[in-house]
């Protein structure tokens, strides 16, 4: 966290318990989470599979109600979804019958606050921002997977959210495109000056993108460790081969392996 910048996200003592209607048994998912994200930061959450990362992101978006604690965005308590947050999902979920421009402008259209010309103008600006100049009138089936996910990001950014939530947005892409999209995302967020909370299972992706990496414990999730990523700005993929990057990657993996071993996940996988 950068103490000199105002807080964008302030989560305090967040706990969440699900109740299984069939078994009538409680399942404790989150337990006493404290997390702060400052304006302009990109913070990534990693942890063992099924530990509650996406559940926490859904809670920040207001899609699920926490059992106790408090989540604030820009000082306002989160109790439902709102225009100050935007969600980018793993799959692009674009409307196939709408062009790129129409998909990007969809949220503005639903809000109904801008005239059509203004919506199109703002959409065009964000299409340019994500590097899709010349593709505004294309349909999703005419785009590559990476291009469709750029549209997905533009559709979120056009709403000018205070906090961008990304749930494994590159997981469906091939390995090469995923690497290139990591570089592009850093450029896009720097130009948009957006604060972001990112979830991934890929450890080197987390380190490459982040100002900080937050490691969740096994369920019920607490924060096992927060790691400041002291890598320079303007990162290129070559940095992934540098010794300090590799050491950071090993450290995060050790933390996750400890949690997997503690819960027997590694034995079960073997």
pLDDT at residue number 126: 93
Mean pLDDT of 155-177: 92
Q: Are strands 212-216 and 42-46 parallel, antiparallel or unpaired?
A: parallel
213 phi/psi in degrees, rounded to 5:
-115, 125
**Confidence band, pLDDT 50/70/90 cuts, at residue 111:** confident
Identify the pLDDT of residue 241.
95
pLDDT, position 270: 35
Helical pair 116-129 and 145-157, crossing angle rounded to 10 deg: 130
The tokens describing 218, both together, are 């096994």
Among 22-26, 201-205, 224-228, which stretch is predicted with the lowest mean pLDDT? 22-26
pTM, 2 dp: 0.90
- Phi and psi (nearest 5°) for 145? -60, -45
Token pair recorded at residue 204: 């080197």
Domains of the chain: 7-84+161-269 (3.40.50.300)
Residue 46 confidence class, pLDDT cut points 50, 70, 90? very high
Nearest to 170 by CA among 237, 246, 92, 94: 92
Q: Are strands 196-199 and 85-88 parallel, antiparallel or unpaired?
A: unpaired
Which residue in 138, 61, 60, 142 sits closest to 104, CA to CA? Answer: 138
Residue 200 has pLDDT above 70, yes or no: yes
32 dihedral zone (left: phi>0; alpha: psi -120 to 50; beta): left
Mean pLDDT of 179-189: 92
- Arithmetic mean of pLDDT, 110-115: 84
Q: With a cut of 80, say whether residue 224 has pLDDT above it.
A: yes
Tell me the pLDDT of the chain averaged across its residues: 91
Residues with Cβ within 8 Å of 153's Cβ and at least 6 positions away in sequence, in order, are: 88, 130, 169, 185, 188
| Section 101-127 average pLDDT | 91
Is the pLDDT confidence value at 238 over 50? yes
Degrees, nearest 5: CA angle 32-156-116: 145
pLDDT at 113: 75
* Averaged pLDDT for residues 85-91: 89
Per-residue pLDDT tens for 53-65?
Answer: 999 999 999 999 9
């Amino acid at each position: 966290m950068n103490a000199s910048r105002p807080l964008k996200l302030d989560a305090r003592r967040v706990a969440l318990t699900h109740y299984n209607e069939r078994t009538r048994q409680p399942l404790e998912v989150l337990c006493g989470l404290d997390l702060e994200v400052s304006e302009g930061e990109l913070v990534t959450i990693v942890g063992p599979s099924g530990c509650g990362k996406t559940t926490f992101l859904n809670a920040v978006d207001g899609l699920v109600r926490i059992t106790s604690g408090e989540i604030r965005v820009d000082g306002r308590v989160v109790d439902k979804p709102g225009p100050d947050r935007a969600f980018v999902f793993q799959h692009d979920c674009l409307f196939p019958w709408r062009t790129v421009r129409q998909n990007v402008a969809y949220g503005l259209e639903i809000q109904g606050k801008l005239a059509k010309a203004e919506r199109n103008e703002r959409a065009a600006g964000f299409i340019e921002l994500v590097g899709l100049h010349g593709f505004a009138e294309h349909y999703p089936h005419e785009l590559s997977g990476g291009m469709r996910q750029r549209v997905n990001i533009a559709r979120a950014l056009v709403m000018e959210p205070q906090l961008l939530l990304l749930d494994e947005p590159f997981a469906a892409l091939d390995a090469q495109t995923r690497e290139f999209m990591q570089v592009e995302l850093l450029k896009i967020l720097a130009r948009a000056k957006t604060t972001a909370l990112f979830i991934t299972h890929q450890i080197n992706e987390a380190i490459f993108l982040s100002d900080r990496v937050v490691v969740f414990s096994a369920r019920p999730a607490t924060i096992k460790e927060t790691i400041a990523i002291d890598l320079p700005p303007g990162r290129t993929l070559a940095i992934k081969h540098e010794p300090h990057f590799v050491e950071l990657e090993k450290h995060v993996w050790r933390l996750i392996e400890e949690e997997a071993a503690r819960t027997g996940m590694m034995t079960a996988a073997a």
